Amino acid sequence: MTVIEQALRKPSEVRLIPFLVAGDPDPETTLDLLRLLDEEGVAVVELGVPYSDPLADGPVIQEAATRALSHGMNLSRVLALAKTAREQGVRVPLVLFSYVNPLIQMGFDRFAKTAREAGIDGVIVPDLPVEENEALRTACADHGLDAIPLVAPTSRERVRMIAGQAQGFVYCVSSLGTTGVRDGFSRDVDAFLEEVRRVSPVPTAIGFGISRPEHVRRFSRHADAVVVGSALVRLIGERREALQNPAKREQALAEIRAFVRELKTE
Amino acid sequence: MKTQLPLETQVDQNGRYGRFGGRFVPETLMYALNELESAFREAIADPAFHEELRTLLEEYSGRPTPLTYAQRLTEYVGGARLFLKREDLNHTGAHKINNTLGQALLAKRMGKKKLIAETGAGQHGVASATVAALLGMECKVFMGEEDVRRQQLNVFRMELLGAEVVPVRSGTRTLKDATSEAIRHWVTHVEDTFYMIGSVVGPHPYPEMVRTFQRVIGDEARAQFLYREHRLPDHVVACVGGGSNAIGMFAAFLADRDVQLHGVEAAGHGLSTGRHAATLSKGKPGVLHGSFSYLLQDEHGQVIPAHSISAGLDYPGVGPEHAHLKESGRVRYTSVTDEEALDAVRLLCRTEGILPALESAHAVAEAVRLARTLPREQTVLICLSGRGDKDVETIRAEEAKRR
Ligand SMILES: Cc1ncc(COP(=O)(O)O)c(C=O)c1O
């Protein structure tokens, strides 16, 4: 069992997977946030590699990515950041969320090797469906990274095939659409999650649009973990000036900590 | 009539042309792409679909478009004889209508009533809005805010036709971002919405589907040329943005090994300036908008904005079949600067009384350059992809700068 699977099988009611855009608002803050999330006992952290054309993301994450890119963030720097976090004692399993093109440019093998050496445990590539992912899966297998696939409510008969080759966990997309806060979810989600769970050999996580403690609690009954992305990224975005102001930084970090604690409360 | 693709570019079951193409999209869209592919295969095997499309192309768009011998241009150039395939004479002013008629009929067959499209200059947007009106469908067109500002007249035309123009504020606020936004919208509304892509780009089956609908250009031109000249042209030239008019033209000639094919990209301010849209000349293989092809990008895989005076060529990607045709050597890809394209506009206006679109002017400029080096008994066929009415403001502003 990989460390990601172990983390998602630990007995607990709420297993949280927060998502951060690496380098937003700046690399130092990302390091502080990784330490904070580790201390709060989240199950896994998803670290997003900023990209110029994020097809699966809504405006909140897209804008955070644009901010990070404007500071010169790129895949190599994200991997270096992860390495620093590990050196600073961050223990939580780390999953990289990256669009495929930056990985292609680095080369899948070099990527997987560097990522593993930096302490990354798994990778999610939102624009690489199973039909296209063989080369990346091979590289991941060679270097001991989990290749985590996504399933969507529209996957239908594809669910079994996708779950069949999953490593780490299966990432279930809550609803049609891009990342971003949603007001509500259709009732069909629960049945979809139970179906994925039934056919998946690895744990399941649900993400896209989950922003409130009550969402987290609701979905914790039907999935092994819950991803919170845009809501956290938005909070970080709203506090970005405070985070970069030494006089206000501690207060802003405390607010983010409080938000994560509330999400995790059973 | 069932069109048979030459073997070397037959797309494989994963939508690959050699190593290019594929489907690099969010999982949410995979079902829709599979569904689209089956519907497309069914439609093109159905004579009733062909009949409906043929009728619209003839009775609505005005096909076949003529083949024009450019006698005065030929005399001026003093080399090979130049011919024009007149896609500028289509309804709405460009080849884009061939594809939108095809895709909209397919959408209708699939029972979808909502169309979305992306547009740069507005030509594909206007063509989409037009067929939506014709078939009584709802239409939303995504357009970069920068292009909305530059192409006011086309925005107004789309709105007049009943379409909603959605300004896109992300990234460079141009075609690349309009396309990303259209895909994101599609991810959200995939169950009742048909996405009409405007060129031979995007995930499989789009490049193959758009090629099929644009192939009418080449099939007509080849037959017309044979009828008039009793032989095939020696050279065929077309401009390449995403590459749909070029593929439409080339498709009919790929198997004719003696016909030399030339694709012309936009060199903007010049290939060495970094301000161009010459994806095949200056890009590297990568993934954009769902397909693996050549791409203007930095060393970290971030997409670099393109530049061209012609909004329709101003795109950092290119269709995957072109990437394959480049690597296989079947087509030669070259580029023409903004200045050279503007000169070609003036030249075609003065010699033939034809105002070409700035995009098409790139093909004209390359054809003239080529013809000069060739003997009189050779022939060059140019795809005149569209007319320049939409570009008059841009051309006028450039002329004013030059004075
Ligand atoms: C007249 C004209 N020609 C060419 C193009 C470029 O597109 P493609 O390369 O797909 O033919 C456009 C696109 O807007 C156009 O309007």
Q: Which residues of chain B have pLDDT under 50?
A: 1-8
Ligand 1 center–CA B244 separation, angstroms? 7
Nearest partner of B367 among B228, B278, B221, B235, judged by Cα? B235
Residue of chain A nearest B19, judged by CA positions: A132
Ligand 1 center–CA B311 separation, angstroms? 9
Nearest partner of B366 among B238, B243, B225, judged by Cα? B238
Q: B13 CB near a chain A CB, below 8 Å?
A: no
Q: What SS3 state is found at A166?
A: coil
**Confidence (pLDDT) at A150:** 98
Q: B178 CB near a chain A CB, below 8 Å?
A: no
Centre a 10 Å sphere on the Cβ of residue B229 and count the other Cβ atoms it contains: 15
Closest by Cβ to B188, choosing from A75, A132, A176: A176
Q: Return d(Cα B207, Cα B247) in angstroms, integer.
A: 10
Q: Return d(Cα B152, Cα B210) in angstroms, integer.
A: 27
| pTM of model > 0.90 | yes
CB of B360 closer than 6 angstroms to any ligand 1 atom:
yes
The one catalytic residue among A24, A32, A46, A121 = A46
**Order of strands across the sheet with A225-228?**
A146-148, A122-124, A94-97, A45-48, A16-21, A225-228, A204-207, A170-173, A150-151
**Confidence (pLDDT) at B9:** 56
Tell me the chain B residues in contact with residue A151 when contact means C-beta distances shorter than 8 Å: 27
A194 is known as an active-site residue: no
Identify whether the C-beta of residue A33 lies closer than 8 Å to the C-beta of residue A223.
no
The atom number, within ligand 1, closest to the CA of B214 reads: 11
CB of B359 closer than 6 angstroms to any ligand 1 atom:
yes
The atom number, within ligand 1, closest to the CA of B198 reads: 10
Closest by Cβ to A131, choosing from B23, B177, B303: B23
Q: What SS3 state is found at A160?
A: helix
Q: Return d(Cα B101, Cα B85) in angstroms, integer.
A: 20
In this complex, do B24 and A75 lie within 8 Å of one another by their Cβ atoms?
A: no
Ligand 1 center–CA B60 separation, angstroms? 20
Q: How long, in residues, is chain A?
A: 266
Q: Return d(Cα A244, Cα B263) in angstroms, integer.
A: 50
In this complex, do B24 and A103 lie within 8 Å of one another by their Cβ atoms?
A: no
Q: B27 CB near a chain A CB, below 8 Å?
A: yes
The residue whose two tokens read 């017309």 is B224
Q: What is the ipTM of this complex?
A: 0.96
Distance from CA of A246 to the nearest CA of B (A): 30
Q: B176 CB near a chain A CB, below 8 Å?
A: yes
Closest by Cβ to A155, choosing from B27, B188, B286: B27
Distance from CA of B93 to the nearest CA of A (A): 31
B180 is known as an active-site residue: no
In chain B, pLDDT over 70 holds for what percent of residues?
98
The residue whose two tokens read 């506090």 is A239
E strand spans, A12-152: 16-21, 45-48, 94-97, 122-124, 146-148, 150-151
Task: Tally DSSP H helices, then E strands, for chain B.
Answer: 15, 14
Centre a 10 Å sphere on the Cβ of residue A1 and count the other Cβ atoms it contains: 10
Beta bridge partners of B199: none
Q: What SS3 state is found at B352?
A: helix
Ligand 1 center–CA B245 separation, angstroms? 7
Structure token pair of residue B44: 């093109």
Identify whether the C-beta of residue A46 lies closer than 8 Å to the C-beta of residue A120.
no
CB of B245 closer than 6 angstroms to any ligand 1 atom:
yes
Q: What SS3 state is found at B71?
A: helix
A and B: number of Cβ contacts within 8 A: 125
b/e sequence B119-128, b meaning 16+ C-beta within 10 Å:
bbbbbbbbbb
CB of B312 closer than 6 angstroms to any ligand 1 atom:
yes
Q: B301 CB near a chain A CB, below 8 Å?
A: yes
Question: Residue A110 region, left (φ>0) first, then alpha (ψ -120 to 50), else beta?
Answer: alpha
**Which pLDDT tens digit goes with each residue over B1-53?**
333 444 445 788 889 999 999 999 999 999 999 999 999 999 999 999 999 99
DSSP secondary-structure letter at B304?
P
Ligand 1 center–CA B313 separation, angstroms? 6
CB of B357 closer than 6 angstroms to any ligand 1 atom:
yes
Q: B231 CB near a chain A CB, below 8 Å?
A: no
Residue of chain A nearest B183, judged by CA positions: A55
DSSP secondary-structure letter at B14?
T
Please name the residue whose Cα sits nearest to atom 5 of ligand 1.
B312
**Per residue of chain A (266 residues), what is the pLDDT tens digit?**
999 999 999 998 899 999 999 999 999 999 999 999 999 999 999 999 999 999 999 999 999 999 999 999 999 999 999 999 999 999 999 999 999 999 999 999 999 999 999 999 999 999 999 999 999 999 999 999 999 999 999 999 999 999 999 999 999 999 888 988 787 888 899 999 999 999 999 999 999 989 899 999 999 999 999 999 999 999 999 999 999 999 999 999 999 999 999 998 87
Ligand 1 center–CA B312 separation, angstroms? 5
Structure token pair of residue B382: 């140019």
Identify whether the C-beta of residue A70 lies closer than 8 Å to the C-beta of residue B172.
no
Residue of chain A nearest B27, judged by CA positions: A129
